[in-house]
Structure formats: structure tokens, C-alpha cells
């Protein structure tokens, strides 16, 4: 006879012992087993037991005002916390800062993947995530206070490479949440916005001899759930608790939304346009970095606006937005529903999404920034006297193919006005974000440079780029004075070479036609042939080569023009304002090498940016190609006139043409 596993919340919580290791599910405000948290709080307040628990969790799970894991703040209930986010449980964070409990702030993806290690009986996890940040044992080992002394992060070397080894902590109790359960404890998630790590958490507790308590909305009969709909099998579940509706909200702001649950698809054309303020300026400029047909992650805060801008510019079909919580595609939700998506293509488990992220699956991410210093280091985890936590920031920022940090230039009372396409600072923010040294290093600028990771920093008044020499000012908003509005409000002096104006379209309250940039619709107009002089002019001024497919389209456009010429051409390329992602310089040099070998008689290029000239010369020289990168157009054309080799103007052979 099968056991009926349905019991009350109080009966389930009575099974927790002193000093147990407890893990719980939830993401920000979604999918939180509120009834279980409330019952645990009630038992402790009424009886003073269980004491000394260790809490392990990934993302924050609460409203920052006392709900969710915020209920577990009572003195003596917790003795240790291992979490990616402390901001959602401020009283627990305060206890950690006051040295009342031990604590570790690990990357969200690491904790998520550690559940699987626990389930498999493995001692821990090898990962490069966290190297050169505060998580690295050389910089604190993720400990949040002096009371915490045990090392759970170790620096190791494997085949000459540095890795971090994260020690797995065995789990005694798992709180998970689903929609439906049958009496045997089989769980389905049909009305949940996300599945998170429930399966891995349940397996980790079960295989350690612990208990798994599942909160659900309803009980269904045996045999009702189809096998493929069961996301957590009953063999892993010890207790099922049916929650009251108020304790099983989809999130704290939404009782239930069928579109977020993926049960229906809804029209999204009516999304409200953002007002033209500092948030929209930042989102618009960041949107220029979106890779065509790329996979993108957006952080909370200023980056969320990119989703709205993408919808307004009708480019949503050409990018795939994702969340670390497991949503793929659709329109990312914000506010209390952050982490979920309307009309998502797929929902996968959180640990699987971090596998994808850590392996380099993200083409781009846009994340917030609380502090930034001259080396390009960014702090989002501990600032303003508060322990917020890193969340998934470290996993995402270290492994995305390109990174955009987005936020206002100053904080606390900043007010701007946009008039006639010009930005005016009405009231400056009270707090500086660009500081001498970040309070805590959540992102290492030098480590990104070491790995040739493209990184820019977008604000409402200017844009910086990470270089090997530090932060460089590359763009300035119209109406902004560099000395008065930028340098005067920084604690360090950035590199200032040849900053250009930010795109004027950003500051007009009308659509920007961003789709033309994203899909390179104007490439053909940038390539023209002067047949009489046999000169091919390639105007890449202001063009941005984001991903390799952009380069492929440029190469095909140039080859097509050369074939029409019927002979080798003399190419003059304008690289003024041209941007090339840091990890594409070698590929770009390879394209030039190919064109010179097959289509060019002579070639010369010019760029006012000394940094770009240097990078291109390095990449071309590495491939044995004469660089010929000049500062001015006149110099480039003069060089072309003195080196033109008429003998090289021969017809392109059919073999060469077919090879292209």
C-alpha cells in the first residue's frame, strides 16, 4: 500500500532537528514556499527550536521586508548562511555584518551547481567563476565577516591553470515548491513561473539521508500526472504540504498570471514606452550593443529597460533574452516578477542555465553597477554599508562574450533634462559611483583584459571602455562638458583620447531605427567603387562589429564589390568611430589577410583613435600583414598614391572567385 505523504506544515516542520542544514527554493519574489518559512518561524518563536540551522540558498527569496527567508532572522535560529544574495533578508544580513552568525556570499550559479554535486556524493565543484574577485581565497574567500574562518573555497591548479574548488555542504532538509502533487509525492509545476533547482535540491537532501518537504497548491489523484509532467518524482519527496492561496502566490505582487506560467501566450505589442529620461537613455545606448541573433541576459535595475527599448524598436524577434532563473525567450518580466518571462520559449532548471552561461553561451549581458574604479573593477555586492550579495553577477559577467555595465553616473537625487537633443544635469547625484577603489570587487577589470573580454560602461552622460591601460572615455552625450560634468565627479582620471559624441538618435523622443544597425542593412551603402581610379572606398565610420556574423556580412559585401570591379582594387578604409569587439581582432585581421591575398592590389586604412590603430596594427603584424593604419584620410590616400602597383591590377581568376 502506498503511503500518503500529505501532512500539515506544522507536522512537516517538526521533523527539522537542531543544527540541520536547510536549503530552500525561490528566486527574488517568485516561487517561494512561504507556508514552510512561516511554519518554521512560528515553531522557533513558540518553542525556541530548532536552533543553529545552516541556511543554503541561491538567489534571494523574499520581499526585503521580512517575508520569505527574511522570516528566519530570529536570534539563535540560524548559525550560518551560505547564499548568493543577502539583500532579500536584510535582518539576516545585519546579523552577519554584526558577527552574530557565520556567512559566505558565493556566486549564485556555483551554489546552484553545488546542489548537483551534493546529490552525486561529490566533494565539491571546480569552477573558474570567482577568480580574481572577493570570492577568490587570495581576496577573502567569500567570507562575509571576521566570525567566519573556515575555508570553503580553495585555489587549485590543474594542468597549469588556476581554478577555484568550492566545497559541497551536505544538506539535511530541502524546502521546495510545486503546483500539484499526488499522494505519492510526485510533483508537477504547471502553474509555476520557474522550476529553479527543486529537483537537484530534493536529490541532494534525499541522498544525504535528509528530508524533502514540498509545498503545493493542490493534491491530485494517483495517475493524474503524466510522467513527462512530473519534474520531481515522489521517491525524492518525504512530505507534501498544501498551502493556503495567500501563501502560494506566484510572487508577492502577482497572485497568478497564466502567461508567466507558460499556460497561454498573450499579445505584447501594447507594452508602454519608457519616458525619455536617464533610464531610457542608458537602455537605448546599451541596446546598440545587442548582438544580432544573439543570446542575452539582462540584470535588474537600469538594464531591465533594454527589453522595453527592444520591443519599441521591433528588434525583439532578432535576439533571445534569457534569465539566470531559467527563462529562455519571450519578454522578460520586471518588478515582483523579475526572473520570469511572458511567452517564454522554454523554462529550464536554474543549474542548467548556469551550465550554459558558464560555458560561454551568452553573447552579451547588461548588468548594473554600484561602484567602478579606474582599473574597470565593479562592485555590486557590498556598498553603502549594506551586504547585498553578488547573486548571479559573477557567473554572468565573467563568462559572457561581451559585457555592458549600465547605470547612472552618480546616485542619490540625480535629475537630468533632455532638451533639443541635449542633456542637461539639473541636479547632480549626491554619491559618486566612479571611485578610487571599489569597496568589494565583484568583477575584475584586469582579469577581463587578460581574457580579451569586451567591456563597456554606459551612463546617461558618457560611455567608457575597458582597455589594458584602464578605463577610457569613448563617448560623450551632447550638451555634456567633459571637465564640468564628468571628470569633476570622478575620484580618478580616466584615459581621454578621442571621445566621440553618443549617437544623436538616443536623445530624440522617436524610434531610432535600431533594426538597421542590428541587421547591418546599410552595409552595401558603405562600400563604393570609383571605377575610373579603381579605388574601393569602404566607409566603416561609426560601424560596430559586434559578433563574427557581422564580420562575415562585411566580407561578403566587400567581395561582391570587388567581383563587380573585375580586377584587383586599391582599397581605402575609413575606421573613424569604428568599433570592434575585443575578442574579434584576430578574426578581423584574418579577413583583411584574405582580402589582400585575393582581391586587393593595395590597401590602406585610417582611424583617429590611437587605441584602435594600435590594436589593428598588433593584430595585422601578428599575421604577417603590413598594417598601414594612418591617423588621417589624407595620409592614407597619399600612401595609396605612392605605393599603387599597376602590375597588381590583374583580373581576378575564376579559381579565386570561386574560393570566396
Q: What is the DSSP string of 373-395?
A: -TT--EE-SEETTEE---TTHHH
Lowest mean pLDDT across 27-36, 150-159, 164-173, 533-542: 533-542
How many domains is the chain built from? 3
Return the pLDDT at 642.
57
Structure confidence at residue 648 as a pLDDT band (50, 70, 90): very low
* Contact status, residue 245 vs residue 215, Cβ threshold 8 Å: no
Assign residue 356 the CATH number of its domain. 3.40.1080.10
Task: Kindly state the average pLDDT of the residues 347-364.
Answer: 97
Return the pLDDT at 546.
85
Note whether 572 and 437 are same-domain residues. no
Note whether 497 and 547 are same-domain residues. no
Half-sphere exposure at residue 290, Cβ-oriented, CA atoms within 13 angstroms? 34
Structure confidence at residue 577 as a pLDDT band (50, 70, 90): confident
Asked, for residue 246, whether it belongs to a domain, the answer is no
Note whether 447 and 565 are same-domain residues. no
Q: How high is the mean pLDDT of the chain?
A: 92
Task: Kindly state the average pLDDT of the residues 644-648.
Answer: 43
Note whether 379 and 321 are same-domain residues. yes
Rg (CA), the chain: 28
- The catalytic residues are 324
Q: Last residue of a domain, which of 438, 471, 505?
A: 505
Q: Cell numbers for 349, please give them.
A: 532548471
* Contact status, residue 112 vs residue 197, Cβ threshold 8 Å: yes
Beta strands in 178-244 (DSSP E): 180-181, 187-188, 211-216, 218-219, 230-232, 239-242
Task: Kindly state the average pLDDT of the residues 142-168.
Answer: 97
Asked, for residue 253, whether it belongs to a domain, the answer is no
Note whether 358 and 209 are same-domain residues. no
Return the pLDDT at 235.
97
In order of 10, 109, 111, 444, the CA distances from 130 in angstroms are 39, 11, 12, 9
652: pLDDT strictly greater than 50? no
Residue range 100-145, pLDDT digits in tens: 999 999 999 999 999 999 999 999 999 999 999 999 999 999 999 9
Nearest to 10 by CA among 46, 36, 33, 32: 36
659: pLDDT strictly greater than 60? no
In order of 329, 536, 542, the CA distances from 422 in angstroms are 35, 37, 20
Asked, for residue 611, whether it belongs to a domain, the answer is yes
Note whether 499 and 529 are same-domain residues. no
Residues linked to residue 440 through DSSP beta bridges, in sequence order: none
655: pLDDT strictly greater than 50? no
248: pLDDT strictly greater than 90? yes
Neighbours of 532 (CB within 10 A): 6
Asked, for residue 248, whether it belongs to a domain, the answer is no
Residue range 442-499, pLDDT digits in tens: 999 999 999 999 999 999 999 999 999 999 999 999 999 999 999 999 999 999 988 9
Q: Cell numbers for 376, please give them.
A: 574597470
Note whether 484 and 530 are same-domain residues. no
Domain around 533: 522-654
Note whether 468 and 324 are same-domain residues. yes
334: pLDDT strictly greater than 90? no
Structure confidence at residue 1 as a pLDDT band (50, 70, 90): low
Q: Last residue of a domain, which of 471, 505, 539?
A: 505
Residue range 612-624, pLDDT digits in tens: 778 888 888 888 8
Asked, for residue 270, whether it belongs to a domain, the answer is no
Structure confidence at residue 657 as a pLDDT band (50, 70, 90): very low
**Which residues 6+ apart lie within 8 Å of 338 measured at CB?**
28, 29, 30, 300, 304, 323, 332
Assign residue 586 the CATH number of its domain. 3.30.750
Note whether 88 and 143 are same-domain residues. yes
Residue range 364-410, pLDDT digits in tens: 999 999 999 999 999 999 998 899 999 999 999 999 999 999 999 99
Task: Kindly state the average pLDDT of the residues 344-361.
Answer: 97
Asked, for residue 259, whether it belongs to a domain, the answer is no
636: pLDDT strictly greater than 70? no
Note whether 552 and 473 are same-domain residues. no
* Contact status, residue 192 vs residue 213, Cβ threshold 8 Å: no
Asked, for residue 632, whether it belongs to a domain, the answer is yes
Nearest to 83 by CA among 148, 142, 18: 142
Pairing assessment for the beta strands 403-406 and 455-458 based on DSSP bridges: parallel
Residue range 190-236, pLDDT digits in tens: 999 999 999 999 999 999 999 999 999 999 999 999 999 999 999 99
133 φ/ψ angles, rounded to the nearest 5 degrees: -110, -175
Note whether 435 and 294 are same-domain residues. yes
Return the pLDDT at 269.
63
Note whether 487 and 540 are same-domain residues. no
Asked, for residue 436, whether it belongs to a domain, the answer is yes
- Model-wide pTM > 0.75: yes
Task: Kindly state the average pLDDT of the residues 293-297.
Answer: 93
Return the pLDDT at 624.
84
Amino acid at each position: 500500500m502506498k503511503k500518503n505523504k500529505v501532512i500539515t506544515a506544522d507536522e512537516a516542520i517538526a521533523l527539522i532537528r537542531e543544527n540541520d542544514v536547510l536549503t530552500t527554493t525561490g528566486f527574488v519574489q517568485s516561487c517561494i514556499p512561504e507556508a514552510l518559512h512561516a511554519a518554521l518561524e512560528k515553531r522557533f518563536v513558540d518553542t525556541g527550536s530548532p536552533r543553529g540551522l545552516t541556511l543554503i540558498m541561491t538567489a534571494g527569496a523574499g520581499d526585503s521586508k521580512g517575508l520569505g527567508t527574511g522570516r528566519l532572522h530570529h536570534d539563535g535560529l540560524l548559525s550560518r548562511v551560505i547564499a548568493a544574495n543577502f539583500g532579500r533578508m536584510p535582518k539576516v544580513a545585519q546579523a552577519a555584518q554584526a558577527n552574530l552568525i557565520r556567512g559566505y556570499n558565493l556566486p549564485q550559479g556555483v551554489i546552484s551547481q553545488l546542489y548537483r554535486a551534493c546529490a552525486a556524493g561529490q566533494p565539491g565543484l571546480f569552477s573558474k567563476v570567482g577568480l580574481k574577485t572577493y570570492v577568490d581565497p587570495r581576496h577573502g574567500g567569500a567570507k562575509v565577516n571576521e566570525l567566519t574562518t573556515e575555508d570553503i573555497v580553495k585555489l587549485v591548479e590543474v594542468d597549469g591553470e588556476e581554478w577555484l574548488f568550492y566545497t559541497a555542504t551536505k544538506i539535511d532538509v530541502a524546502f521546495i515548491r510545486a503546483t500539484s502533487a499526488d499522494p505519492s509525492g510526485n510533483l508537477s509545476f504547471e502553474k509555476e513561473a520557474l522550476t529553479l533547482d527543486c529537483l537537484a535540491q530534493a536529490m541532494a537532501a534525499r541522498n544525504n539521508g535528509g528530508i524533502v518537504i514540498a509545498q503545493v497548491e493542490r493534491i491530485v489523484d494517483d495517475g493524474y500526472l503524466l510522467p513527462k509532467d512530473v519534474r520531481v518524482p515522489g521517491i525524492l519527496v518525504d512530505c507534501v504540504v498544501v498551502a493556503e492561496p495567500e501563501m502560494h502566490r506566484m510572487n508577492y505582487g502577482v497572485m497568478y498570471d497564466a502567461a508567466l506560467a507558460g499556460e497561454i501566450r498573450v499579445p505584447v505589442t501594447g507594452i508602454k514606452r519608457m519616458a525619455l529620461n536617464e533610464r531610457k537613455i542608458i537602455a537605448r545606448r546599451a541596446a546598440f550593443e545587442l548582438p544580432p541573433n544573439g543570446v542575452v541576459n539582462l540584470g535588474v535595475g537600469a538594464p531591465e529597460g533594454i527589453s522595453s527599448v527592444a520591443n519599441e524598436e521591433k528588434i525583439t524577434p532578432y535576439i533571445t533574452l534569457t534569465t539566470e532563473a531559467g527563462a529562455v525567450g519571450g519578454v522578460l518580466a520586471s518588478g515582483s516578477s523579475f526572473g520570469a518571462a511572458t511567452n517564454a520559449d522554454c523554462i529550464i532548471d536554474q543549474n542548467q542555465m548556469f551550465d550554459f552561461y558558464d560555458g560561454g553561451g551568452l553573447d552579451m549581458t547588461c548588468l548594473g553597477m554600484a561602484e567602478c574604479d579606474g582599473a574597470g573593477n565593479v562592485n555590486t555586492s557590498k556598498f553603502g554599508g549594506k551586504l547585498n550579495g553578488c547573486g548571479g553577477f559573477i557567473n554572468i559577467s565573467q563568462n559572457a562574450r561581451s559585457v555592458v555595465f549600465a547605470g547612472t553616473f552618480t546616485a542619490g537625487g540625480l535629475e537630468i533634462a533632455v532638451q533639443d537633443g541635449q542633456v542637461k544635469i539639473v541636479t547632480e547625484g549626491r554619491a559618486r559611483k566612479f571611485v578610487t577603489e571599489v569597496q568589494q570587487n565583484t568583477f575584475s577589470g584586469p582579469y577581463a583584459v587578460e581574457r580579451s573580454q569586451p567591456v563597456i560602461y554606459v551612463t546617461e552622460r558618457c560611455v567608457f571602455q575597458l582597455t589594458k591601460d584602464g578605463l577610457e572615455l569613448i563617448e560623450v552625450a551632447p550638451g555634456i562638458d567633459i571637465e564640468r560634468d564628468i571628470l569633476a565627479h570622478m575620484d580618478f582620471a580616466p584615459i581621454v583620447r578621442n571621445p566621440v559624441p553618443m549617437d544623436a538618435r538616443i536623445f530624440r523622443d522617436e524610434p531610432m531605427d535600431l533594426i538597421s544597425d542590428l541587421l547591418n542593412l546599410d552595409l552595401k551603402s558603405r562600400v563604393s567603387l570609383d571605377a575610373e581610379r579603381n579605388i574601393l572606398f569602404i566607409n566603416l565610420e561609426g560601424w560596430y562589429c559586434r559578433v563574427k556574423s557581422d564580420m562575415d556580412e562585411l566580407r561578403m559585401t566587400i567581395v561582391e564589390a570587388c567581383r563587380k570591379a573585375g580586377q584587383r582594387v586599391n582599397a581605402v578604409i575609413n575606421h573613424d568611430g569604428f568599433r570592434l569587439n575585443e575578442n574579434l581582432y584576430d578574426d578581423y585581421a584574418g579577413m583583411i589577410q584574405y582580402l589582400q591575398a585575393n582581391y586587393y592590389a593595395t590597401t590602406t586604412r585610417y582611424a583617429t583613435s590611437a587605441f584602435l590603430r594600435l590594436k589593428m596594427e598588433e593584430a595585422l603584424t601578428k599575421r604577417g600583414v603590413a598594417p598601414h593604419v594612418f591617423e588621417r584620410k589624407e595620409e592614407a590616400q597619399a600612401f595609396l598614391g605612392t605605393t599603387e602597383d599597376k602590375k597588381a591590377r590583374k583580373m581576378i581568376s575564376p579559381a579565386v572567385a570561386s574560393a570566396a
